[in-house]
Amino acid sequence: MLYQPIDAVATAPRQPVRLTVMQGQARVSGDPRVELTTVLGSCIACCLFDPTSNVGGMNHFLLAEPTNGRGVDEHYGAYLMEVLINEMLAYGASRMALRAHLYGGANMHSGMTRIGSANAAFAVDFLEQERIPLVRSSLGGVLARRADFRPAHGQARFRFVDETFAPQPAPVPAASRGDVELF
Amino acid sequence: MMTSPNAATRILTVDDSATMRSLLRHALQSQGFEVAQAEDGVAALDWLASNDCDVIITDINMPRMDGFGLIERVRAGGPHVHRPILVLSTEFSDEKKARARSAGATGWIVKPFDAEKLAAAVRRVTH
């Protein structure tokens, strides 16, 4: 499931709720108990926060690798950023008030395409084009990261982790890409 | 000199994301289409007041006037009332599709889009 609403998480009052954001997902919440977490290798996690509504969310994406001499395919990243923004707005966030954190984009294996750098460049460019201020980031390098984000508070933290904790990059799902339905 | 079969087709794309507008412009122009762009429903109606196109491709979630509002306004009357309107959205619920169809949309395309599928859809609704 791409987008998972998390209002209905069954838990005791005030007990922290830790939810993992997998590659290809976007999760949004205004619940102060919720902490979103993910482990990143070459992938990017964008955390968005609206301080006027105390709503936040995180996505986790990986762009498709270049093929046939073309650049990276930015469609999937743009799509998952739009999914996150739309869900933020559905939760009452204001587009103009959004603030962003970015994490990930490591190039963990020498000799491979520097897909981590391409992911990071895309994410930074996206925020600039959409005029969403980037307030904090940790991008690039060669180490995997764990990123934790409290969406209702806009508080993020990260730490470097052993690459064995980072998920293997999975192919971008393309089964339903661009499906057309004429009425 | 060869001329693209899409060269005479002018498309108005409506999307509040600058990134998505850039991706759409590149994809459609590379298929030979002429492209005009607006950032929301209000800007699209402003453009349509003094310009014409062969097909409109619109996002749903936009500030000021969303895609549903734009479809309803175009279908309410005027010179563009019969223009094909394709929705291009991250949304894919049956409820949203039914609402778009009821408002007068011609079709629904799910993001992330594929340039060739998008071009084929444009050709189908304009020929």
Q: Is the pLDDT of residue B97 over 90?
A: yes
Tokens at residue A37, please? 């977490």
d(CA A167, CA A160): 14
- The pLDDT of residue A175 is 47
Helix ranges (DSSP H) in chain B:
18-30, 41-48, 67-75, 94-103, 115-126
pLDDT at A179: 86
Output the CA torsion A14→A145→A6→A9 (10° steps): -50
Q: Does the beta-carbon distance from A86 to B90 stay under 8 Å?
A: yes
User: Over the Cα atoms of chain A, what is R_g?
Assistant: 16
> Mind listing the pLDDT tens digit for each residue in A74-101?
888 999 999 999 999 999 999 999 999 9
Judge whether A174 lies within some domain. no
Q: Do A129 and B22 touch (CB under 8 A)?
A: yes
Domain coverage including residue A74: 17-164
Within 8 A of A81 by CB-CB distance, chain B residues are 19
In a domain, A147, yes or no: yes
In a domain, A159, yes or no: yes
Q: Which residues of B touch A (CB under 8 A)?
A: 16-20, 22-23, 61, 63, 90-92, 97, 100-101, 105-114, 117-118, 120-121, 124-125
**Beta strands A144-150; A34-40: pairing state:** antiparallel
Instruction: Please indicate, yes or no, if residue A175 is contained in any of the structural domains.
Output: no
Does the residue A173 lie in any domain? no
- 3-class DSSP assignment, residue B25: helix
Query: Is a pLDDT exceeding 90 seen at residue A167?
Result: no
Residue A119 has pLDDT above 90, yes or no: yes
User: Under an 8 A CB cutoff, do B113 and A177 touch?
Assistant: yes
Domain ranges of chain B: 53-127
Q: What are phi and psi of B83, to 5 degrees?
A: -65, 135
Confidence of residue A4 (pLDDT cuts 50, 70, 90): low
Q: What is the number of structural domains in chain A?
A: 1
Q: Is A18 on the interface with B (CB under 8 A)?
A: no
Does the pLDDT value for residue A114 go beyond 90?
Answer: no
Distance between CA atoms of B49 and B75, rounded to whole angstroms? 14
Which residues of A are less than 8 Å from B100 in CB distance?
183
DSSP code per residue over A54-95: TEEEEEEE-PBPP-TT---B-HHHHHHHHHHHHHHHHTT--G
Task: For residue A36, report the phi and psi dihedrals to the nearest 5 degrees.
Answer: -95, 140
Q: How far is CA A111 from CA A114, A115, B90, in A?
A: 8, 11, 35
Split at pLDDT 50, 70, 90, the class of A176 is: low
pLDDT digits (tens, 9 = 90+) for B32-70: 999 999 999 999 999 999 999 999 999 999 999 999 999
**What's the CA gap between A62 and A78, in Å, rounded?**
11
CATH topology for the B53-127 domain: Rossmann fold (3.40.50)
CB B21 within 8 A of CB B37: yes
> Across the interface, do B19 and A76 touch by the CB < 8 Å criterion?
no
Answer whether residue A5 is part of any domain.
no
User: What residues of chain A lie within 8 A of the CB of B105, using their CB?
Assistant: 183
Q: Note the pLDDT of residue A76.
A: 86
Residue A98 lies in a domain: yes
A interface test, pick of B39, B86, B111 with most A CB neighbours within 10 Å: B111
Burial A129-168 (b: 16+ CB within 10 A, else e): ebebeeeebbbbbebbbbbbbbbbebebebeeeeeeebee
pTM of the model as a whole: 0.86
Read off the amino acid at residue A121: A
Q: Which of residues 139-178 of A touch B (CB under 8 A)?
A: 176-178
Check pLDDT > 60 for residue A135.
yes
Q: Is A3 on the interface with B (CB under 8 A)?
A: no
Domain contains A52? yes
Q: Give the pairing type, strands B85-89 and A155-161.
A: unpaired
Q: Which member of B19, B100, B110 has the closest CB to residue A176?
A: B110
Q: Dig out the tokens for A146 from the structure.
A: 């764990």
* CATH assignment at residue A95: 3.30.1330.200
Would an 8 Å CB–CB cutoff place A129 in contact with chain B?
A: yes
